[in-house]
Chains A and B, each alone.
Chain A
Amino acid sequence: MDPVYLFSFLGLLSLAFAYIFFPLIPKNSTSSSQHEEALQNYEDLLFQKSKALENLMELDHDREFGKVNEEDYEDIRNRLLREADAIYQSLKTLEQNDPFFSELEIGLQTKRGKTK
């Protein structure tokens, strides 16, 4: 192979490796895995909450369109409300007990204060 091409290739290869391994250079940053986990639990609960609300709305539509009778409607609605309440309680517990959310709240308040 032509040495010019060989060196060009090696040069490109070095650049590629530099690009890949640059994030591994030690920096003064803290691990955020716990925060990530808390956030993901939170996101999952938020998804469940939106689904619970969607289910309630859909049940109302089904009743309006005559797909469920009154008796079934009441029974299913009560069950869905209980499920939604359980999700809401879990969300509340997570927000109150996880230090990440308290830190986040303090951070947000500080930011709001600075903006003001």
Chain B
Amino acid sequence: MTLATALPHFGEACLGLALTTALLAFGLSIAAYSRRGSDLALLKSAERSLYLSTATFTLAALVLIFCFLTDNFLVRYVFSYSSSAMPIVYKIAALWGGQEGSLLFWVWISSLYGALAIYFHRHTDRSLIPIAITVFSSILIFFGFLLIYHENPFALFPDVPHDGRGLNPLLQNPSMALHPPSLYLGFTGMSVPFAFAISALVSRQLDSRWIIASRRWTLTAWLFLSIGNLLGAQWAYVELGWGGFWGWDPVENAAILPWFTATAFLHSVMIQEKRGMLKFWNVHLIVISFMLTILGTYLTRSGVVQSVHSFARSNIGYFFLGFLAITLIVSTYLIYSRRKDLRSANIFESFFSKESAFVVNNIALVGAAFIILWCTLFPTASELIVGSRVIVGPPFFNKMLAPLGIILLILTGIGPIIAWRRSSASQFDRNFLWPIIVGIIAMGTSALLGITHWYAVLTAFGAAFVLTTVIEEFYRGTLSRITQFGEPWNIALFRASFRNNRKYGGYVVHVGIVLIFIGIAGSLYKDVYEFEMAPGQTVTFDQYSATLEKFEDRESANQSERYAVLHLESDDQFLSEVRPARFFYKNPEQPTTEVDIYSRWSEDVYFTLGDFHSETGSAKIQITLNPLISLLWLGGLILIAGGFISMLPPMEFQRKNPPTKREAA
């Protein structure tokens, strides 16, 4: 037996051991819980089983990566998604390029999350640990069974094929090397708050403990979901060549759904922490978020929805549906049997309070998630009921979600400037005056600039309103420290922000959201031009002119490339050379469109090379002007930075000792 044949067997053995130890963790954790945690030895054994399961899933994943790196085409999965000419980075990315590898990757990250969560909380939250292990191990058992009995990534060919089929060329993009891992880290990360929530429900410890235990994990999952969705939008923008970034494709929708509910949770959990309210709602949000991650995986993997992103399909959908049904039944039973323990400790005192703003924010976020879910599943539901697939297109999504988006944007500004419990009308005027004035000025300015679409006008108002409230909050926080401690403004700003980084990090996230909204509003004014161009020909559009200099052909081991070399000018000033291209991949045989973008803060000039006509020596070139899209990407980066700031532990700053008399002299 050679290493090439031994390694896949070793990988399979690892999967078998991982499943066995996950089953042991499940049994031992239940035994430990049934003895009310008094048997610490049982609990320790359960923890060890989970760690070992994680270690063996990790080994299995590493073995598969090694098989990719060594072009071990004896392994069916490696043959299907890799080829010897592929760059190393895509050989690693091929791990999640197909069904079996994706599932292995999913369970691997999930096991890592579980092991880390148990390790870090084993002393501080011991009473939550037994059932948390049961939940984590249940997830591992489900995926372990799928991998071993249905989607074995280590299945072998009887003879070694000469070369593999290669990864889908659309996935051979830097964003795609990072987008799926980020999304998976977000999806699987939701299992940690879910495990703690279920554990709290089972053990009836529904005080703040599970909230504290899971807070940072939820934020981590939310952050990775944000990164994953942004990278997905970036990939769609640069790889699919249609000039847009979000097409309301079912798989895109599946990825954004848990983001909405997790965002709602991150807001409503503050009400539970501060006021002991919304306990019932919060456990629902966590269960729904976790189920949406499983639903997302189901939609991507089962093929029940038609999507440009469904790169892997099989009949594992029924298993996912079964898993979803079990999760739903168990969670519903637990929540409703514990509803008395989930009663609020306080009541809403006024409509004009932060709590009320957060509740409206939750309704809007969950409402948006529900609309997206309904519109995503509608084609499948209509096919089941009436026999024909009724497609819900992007215009319908936009029409339904735009008003909710505006409400959410304005709430982003209202939340920070009103107090907990109640705000009086007079104080209301004082805090809202400037943001409203600045908002109206922004609205007027946008109207003067010819912006008349209601969504864009209201976005201008909302964006200015929110930015003013954020600036006000930073200003007041800084001023307070300057007055109290006499610190210089820059130190005061830093200390005010990082002493309460959860709050101020949240404000930074709000700035990111505002910029994303502006970027989306800009897409309403997108212009598309199509030209049939031959070398030497010049075309003009908007304030630009473009001259096609030549077509250029290149050959590499994996693909043939044809570039259109254009010179872009504005007001007779040379701006840039742009090189949109068409790649023709050899293995697998597939063409792709490689766009080129001339980017400035006010707009992107987006070039797509279409079909080449050899008889005329010309090609179709599509040019799209995307106003303000750079703000969308910048907003995404700011949102991620804000998320990181919120995750940091609060910093304590010592007051400087007052200067001695001698120093003062």
Residues of A within 8 A of B (CB): 1-2, 5, 9, 12-13, 16, 19-24, 27, 29, 31-33, 36-37, 40, 43-44, 47-48, 51, 55, 58-59, 61-62, 64-69, 71-72, 76
Contacts and interface: CB of A to CB of B under 8 A. Distances in A.
A10 B6 CA distance: 16
Contacts, number: 99
Contacts of B207: 44
A20 B45 contact: yes
B423 A67 contact: yes
Nearest to B211: A47
A58 B420 contact: yes
B127 A61 contact: no
A66 B532 CA distance: 62
B48 interface: yes
Contact of B48 (A2, A23, A27, A76): A23
B274 A36 contact: no
A7 to B, nearest CB: 12
Contact of A20 (B39, B52, B209, B423): B52
A32 B40 contact: yes
Interface residues of B, number: 44
A2 B1 contact: yes
B187 to A, nearest CB: 28
B17 A72 contact: no
Nearest to A40: B127
Interface stretch (B299-307, B390-398, B426-434, B629-637): B426-434
* Top 8 A-B pairs, shortest CB-CB distance: A23-B44, A67-B419, A33-B38, A62-B419, A69-B424, A23-B41, A68-B419, A65-B476
Given A1-B9, A5-B6, A43-B124, A33 B48 contact: no
Nearest to B9: A5
23 contacts: A5-B6, A19-B48, A19-B52, A24-B42, A24-B45, A29-B40, A31-B39, A36-B37, A36-B126, A37-B127, A40-B126, A44-B207, A47-B212, A51-B274, A55-B274, A58-B420, A62-B419, A64-B476, A65-B480, A66-B427, A67-B417, A68-B424, A71-B424
Nearest to A52: B274
Given A64-B480, A69-B426, 5 more contacts: A23-B40, A23-B44, A32-B40, A66-B427, A67-B431
B4 to A, nearest CB: 14
A68 B45 contact: no
Contacts of A22: 45, 48
Contacts of B480: 61, 64-65
B476 A76 contact: no
A40 B207 CA distance: 11
A104 B451 CA distance: 70
A58 B13 CA distance: 56
A31 B539 CA distance: 83
Nearest to B212: A47
Contacts of B417: 67
Given A36-B37, A37-B127, A68-B422, A16 B21 contact: yes
Nearest to A62: B419
A68 B424 CA distance: 6
B36 interface: yes
Contact of A16 (B17, B36, B430, B476): B17
A66 to B, nearest CB: 5
Contacts of A24: 41-42, 45
